Amino acid sequence: MTNYLIIFMGFLFGGSSVAQKHEVGLFLGGSNVISDVGSTDVINPNDVVIGGVYKWNRTPRYSFRLSVNYANVHGEDSKSNDSKQRARDYSFRNAIKEVSVGIEYNLINFDLHDRNRLFTKITPYVYSGLSFFHYDALYLKGGKTVQKFNSHSTFAIPLSLGVKTTLSSRFILGFETGVRYTFTDDLDGSNPVRDKAPYESLKFGNTKNNDWYVFTGVTLTYTFGKKPCICPEGNKY
C-alpha cells in the first residue's frame, strides 16, 4: 500500500514544473435525477443547474478542480416509460447545493501556456473525485404529494466526461455531462432518511438502490498565471 501511495503522489506532483496555470469560470446547463419517480433516462436534462468552477492545472495532462453548483431537480411519473409508474402518477421537486473536489484528466496534452487562438487546441477529458451536497429530505403525503420535512446532507461520487477547446489565449470553452452516484435514496421521497415510524411506512419503490443526479452543460473559464521558469542558475526568466 505504501508503494502505491508513493507512486500516486509522484504522479500528482512530479510534473508540477511543466505547467502551472489557473482557470476560473462558470458552469451552466441542465439537470436530471435517476430515481424511483419519473424517467430513468441517464441524460435527460429537464431543469437548470448553475455553478462556478476553479482549476489548478498542474501539468498539461491533469488539474485539481473545485466546483460549486446549485440545481433544481424534479421527476414526474407521467414522463416515465413504465406504465405502472404512469398509473401511479407521483411527482417531486428538490434543490441540490453541491461542492465537488477532484482531478480532471486530459486525454490529450492541453498546455495553456501556448498562446493559442480559436479552436487550435482541443481535448476530451474525464473528471472524478468526491462531492458533498445538501438537499431537501422528502416524504410522501396524501398518496401523491411529496412534502419536505427536513434538510439533509450527504456525499456523492462524481464521474464526468467532456471535451474542451481554446476560444482565445485566455478563454476555454468546455462541454461535459457528469453523473453523481449519491449515498441516499431520498431525493424523490421514496425512502425517507428517518427510519423510525411513521416514516418507515411511507417507503416505496426499490429501497435497495440509491439515487443518481446528472449535470449536463457548458463551462467557460478564464485562464491566468505564469509558467514557472526552468532556467540555468544566474539567468532570469
Ordered structural domains, the chain, with CATH: 19-135+153-186+212-224 (2.40.160.20)
User: 192 or 47: which carries more pLDDT confidence?
Assistant: 47
User: 19 or 223: which carries more pLDDT confidence?
Assistant: 223
Residue 13 has pLDDT above 60, yes or no: no
Asked whether the beta carbons of 49 and 229 are under 8 A apart, the reply is: no
Average pLDDT over residues 67-87: 93
4 pLDDT band, cuts 50/70/90, is very low
64 pLDDT band, cuts 50/70/90, is very high
pLDDT of residue 118: 73
Q: What would the pLDDT profile of 137-163 be if each residue is shown by its tens digit?
A: 888 876 566 778 888 999 999 999 999
What average pLDDT is seen over the chain?
85
- Answer whether the bond into residue 45 is a cis peptide, omega within 30°: no
Backbone torsions φ then ψ of 233, nearest 5 degrees: -60, 130
Residue 208 has pLDDT above 80, yes or no: yes
Residue 72 has pLDDT above 80, yes or no: yes
pLDDT of residue 53: 98
Category of 189 on φ-ψ map: left (φ > 0), alpha (ψ -120 to 50) or beta: left
User: 132 or 15: which carries more pLDDT confidence?
Assistant: 132
User: 54 or 228: which carries more pLDDT confidence?
Assistant: 54
Average pLDDT over residues 182-209: 86
CB-side neighbour CA atoms (13 Å) of 42: 7
Q: What would the pLDDT profile of 109-128 be if each residue is shown by its tens digit?
A: 998 776 666 777 899 999 99
Question: What contacts 44, CB < 8 A, 6 or more positions away?
Answer: 32, 214
pLDDT of residue 178: 97
pLDDT of residue 17: 42
Among 3-7, 52-56, 168-172, the least confident range: 3-7
Residue 3 has pLDDT above 70, yes or no: no
pLDDT of residue 20: 55
